[in-house]
Amino acid sequence: MELSRRICLVRLWLLLLSFLLGFSAGSALNWREQEGKEVWDYVTVREDARMFWWLYYATNPCKNFSELPLVMWLQGGPGGSSTGFGNFEEIGPLDTRLKPRNTTWLQWASLLFVDNPVGTGFSYVNTTDAYAKDLDTVASDMMVLLKSFFDCHKEFQTVPFYIFSESYGGKMAAGISLELHKAIQQGTIKCNFSGVALGDSWISPVDSVLSWGPYLYSVSLLDNKGLAEVSDIAEQVLNAVNKGFYKEATQLWGKAEMIIEKNTDGVNFYNILTKSTPDTSMESSLEFFRSPLVRLCQRHVRHLQGDALSQLMNGPIKKKLKIIPDDVSWGAQSSSVFISMEEDFMKPVIDIVDTLLELGVNVTVYNGQLDLIVDTIGQESWVQKLKWPQLSRFNQLKWKALYTNPKSSETSAFVKSYENLAFYWILKAGHMVPADQGDMALKMMRLVTQQE
């Protein structure tokens, strides 16, 4: 037993060394020759629309990749890059300094990062009318990519396939999961789809907005007057959504965020224990004051492509990948991706989650305790609106405490699970759960993928 453990450790160090040597070599050919550990490519999903994906084969020292699941990670925004932020800031093998990440999910799963919708990250469009404007288009584009991927990589057709997501990525993941289930049933895509995980997900935006005031008031970040102001604008958002005025609801959502920032002295929407850093150059421009969408885009996409990450992706990574067209810059079209989805932002997709549950698809909801933009109260609210027949039994259960360290008495999360629905409450985490609580996020992934 001890000899086996030592062999595993030696193999792990060799794998990490190969990653580091590969980067110092800087050659796409060298990387591709390293035991097939990475591949990447473009898929033309529509005319003038090309989507980029990047696959890492699992590097568990004791198991072959075929014995481990395949996880596709979808970033939020929309316009946030999975190959950039999700990869180098959250769950990939290396961080933005190209140092090994101790909590990479690659130890326990092969990782597929996809830059979607088109125009995100290294994905790009050639004409402005090729941007996706709604969830249907986003899901349809992904079906083209997944069919191409599984047709070309048949070794993954029988491997359990999970979709993990974050923020707006969760809304996209719900729609994509439903279309994928249909495609599998119709025989157009061959894969072993095993479940979807919705992390701090924009499933029912209005439920999040309605909960912002009570949440902030409960943690002493709003006084009575501030609560009244936030509650008033939240009711306006609800009224617009109920009438189907989704573009107006998006504008009111932006106004609600400005009211919160004013009353909380700039609370960070991604972690309430920190403070937002205003972009003074942006705020001084006329465009910032004229366009609520520009303000929203700056707040919810800018943080996903900070200077260090942008320099990495447009420098060493673009050089490494080589197949990237010279005139395509990582993140250059992200603002257009966000703005093109204006009428889709506030549309709820609770009905899609309901359908997934009734079809027997495994659905996991997880949320960071300190998140505001998609706070846990709002998540719990939309879950209670599910028409899933087993919801009452799910509600009767008491959550269980989870610990990242078996020897520690400190609770890291709570979980409740019944049949094909699970909910994880991740403590001391904001919106980006894997970035804030890497050990717990990894443990959760292993639980969801039935490895623990």
> Which sequence positions are flagged as catalytic?
167, 371, 431
Q: Give the count of beta carbons closer than 10 Å to the beta carbon of residue 335.
A: 18
SS3 50: strand
Residue 286 and residue 296: Cα distance in Å, rounded? 15
Nearest one of 168, 152, 162 to 117, comparing CA atoms? 168
**If we measure between CA atoms, which residue out of 439, 445, 433, 438 comes closest to residue 199?**
433
DSSP-assigned states of every residue in 140-176:
HHHHHHHHHHHHH-GGGSSSEEEEEEETHHHHHHHHH
Whether the Cβ atoms of residue 116 and residue 172 lie closer than 8 Å to each other: yes
Torsion sign (Cα): 112, 444, 432, 270: positive
The answer to whether 33 and 77 are in contact (CB under 8 A) is: no
How many residues belong to the chain? 452
**DSSP one-letter string for 308-332:** HHHHHIIIIIHHHH--S-TT--TTT
Query: Could you write out the DSSP letters of every residue in 349-380?
Result: -HHHHHHHHHTT--EEEEEETT-STT-HHHHH
Across-strand partners of 110?
70
C-alpha dihedral, 247 to 248 to 250 to 256, nearest 10°: 180
Q: Residue 50: name the closest of 40, 65, 59 by CA.
A: 40
Cα angle 73, 75, 80; round to 5: 145
Q: Would you list the DSSP string of 292-311?
A: HHHHHHHHHTGGGS-HHHHH
DSSP 211-255: HHHHHHHHTTSS-HHHHHHHHHHHHHHHHHHHTT-HHHHHHHHHH
Structure tokens that stand for 61 in this block: 């020292």
Query: How many Å apart are CA 221 and CA 266, to the nearest integer?
Result: 10
b (16+ CB within 10 A) / e for 154-167 = eebeebbbbbbbbb
